[in-house]
Chains A and B, each alone.
Chain A
Amino acid sequence: MRTLIYVLFVSLLLPSLAMAQIDDRTQEAYGLYKLGMLKDAAEKIDEVVESKNGKTDAQAWHVRGFIYKDIYAKLENSAINSKSQEEAVRSFKTSMELDEERKLIEMNRLALKFLGVSYFNHASEIIDRHNVYTIDRANDNYLKYKSLMTFLYPDSSLKSKDVEFHLAMSTAYRKIYDEEPQNRAEFFEKSNNSLLMVLDLDPNNWAANYSYSVSFYNKGARNLQQLPNTESIIDVYAISSESMRSIEIALPFMLKAYEIDPDKIESIKGLKWILFNLHQEEESKKMSDLERLKESQR
């Protein structure tokens, strides 16, 4: 898909530049670019935009954007955290600001959309890897994507994208935490903070309510599974008290998830277990009966 978009707008670019009146040095840089000599083209166009006249030349910044975009896409294989990608963005934005006659507006916008999508793709790749050392970079890339989209479409809302992103981040943080819960408590916090961000944007989000509840319930249950390793009954008392507090936190969020979608078997099961472990056995039994009923209707 990314290649398709790239081919599409490069083919659109060529006639637009051929028709435009451009400075000789910019023309020279563009010639190098067409020959695929991207590093040489970059050196040449950098000289242009650093010069007194070139600094305010929308056309020069436009060409610079494409040169750096190709360095990013071709030479760097669309690498994450590419300086060239950032230079391309900066160049197209500058070109848009200087382009008073708006001759280059469509091409600049199209190129910026491509770069915005690339930032989003980087965020997705980082989330997918859920690597403990790199996961936070997903945030930087998503913020760059958002910044570009807001620049291009100031009236549009990115709320649903934010929800989607924070849910995915929560999942990635949780996976990292689950690999080593004893040593990665901060990722438990990060996962839950991502869910709270979703709930801030959309309090009726089922997945966020359910996940937040299960996160705390599981934390309580997991702590209790460490009880056989305790040396003292005082530790048993302390661990069980702390664990029950976690399970208590889980209850209102599971109740909310059930209220949002009473037909979801996951919330019914969740309530059954949480209520049971909070010693509300009659209420738990009602949920157990409801679970059986729902399963018989499947």
Chain B
Amino acid sequence: MRKRFLIIAALCAISASFQQVPKLNETDTSALIKASYLYHFSKLVDWPAQAKTGNFIISVMGSTSVHQELVKKYNAKQIGSQQIEVRKLTKTLNISKCHVLYVGKECEDILPDIIKALKNEPTLIVSDASGALKKGADINFIVEDTKLLFELSVKNATDKDLFIGSTLKSLATRIQ
């Protein structure tokens, strides 16, 4: 009986093509989140009057995936009346004027020098390195329980005439 059943079962096998495993979405989700945060930081920080003309420049040093995400999804957006312009920088201390500078992990070693070089510029420095606020960064990405969050230093920002809004402060994991 078992043998006969097997014959019947063989007659009615579901085609293997009906059972396909899903294709993995190979996405760097950290880059998506960081790019989105960088855009919203730009909206929630107030720059001094002299920085409110021309394009709104977001520069990225290191982290190609964050740069690509910004170019793909945010290049056409505006901050107030300023058109966003995304720039990719090589690992350098010769940094042209920008509103936001994101320094990726690959460039962590030169972060103190970058901060020194931009000391008198109204540039929001966003980093991805442990202890970066103490070194002078304004906002720093951190990971807690697999979640990508951020900490910020009001003092570092204020020293450069950057005013951090209350919404941003309320979402920061730590404020210095």
Contact = CB atoms under 8 A, between A and B. Distances in A.
Interface of A: 1, 5, 113, 116-117, 120-121, 123-124, 127-128, 145, 149, 152-153, 155-156, 160-161, 164-165, 167-168, 170-172, 174, 207, 210-211, 214-215, 217-218, 220-222, 224-225, 227-228, 230, 232-234, 236-237, 240-241, 243-244, 247-248, 266, 269-270, 273, 276-279
Q: Is the interface of A mostly helix, strand, loop or mixed?
A: helix
A155 B1 contact: yes
Given A279-B143, A279-B146, A224 B29 contact: yes
The range of chain B's interface size is 35 or more
Q: Is the interface of B mostly helix, strand, loop or mixed?
A: helix
B50 interface: no
B147 A273 contact: no
A156 B27 CA distance: 45
Contacts of B26: 269, 273
9 contacts: A113-B8, A152-B5, A165-B14, A170-B19, A171-B19, A224-B33, A233-B37, A233-B167, A278-B146
B49 interface: no
B147 A225 contact: no
A107 to B, nearest CB: 15
Nearest to A156: B5
Contact of A279 (B5, B148, B167): B148
Contacts of A168: 14, 18-19
B168 interface: yes
A145 B32 CA distance: 47
A275 to B, nearest CB: 10
B28 interface: yes
Interface string B34-62: 01110111011000000000000000000
Nearest to B31: A224
Nearest to A170: B19
Interface of B: 1-2, 4-5, 8-9, 11-15, 18-30, 32-33, 35-37, 39-41, 43-44, 73-74, 143, 146-148, 167-168, 171
Contact of A277 (B21, B29, B167): B29
A236 B33 contact: yes
B167 to A, nearest CB: 6
A277 B12 contact: no
Given A153-B2, A171-B18, 9 more contacts: A120-B12, A121-B12, A124-B15, A127-B18, A170-B19, A171-B20, A210-B21, A240-B36, A277-B27
A119 B9 CA distance: 13
A243 B27 CA distance: 13
Contacts of A210: 21
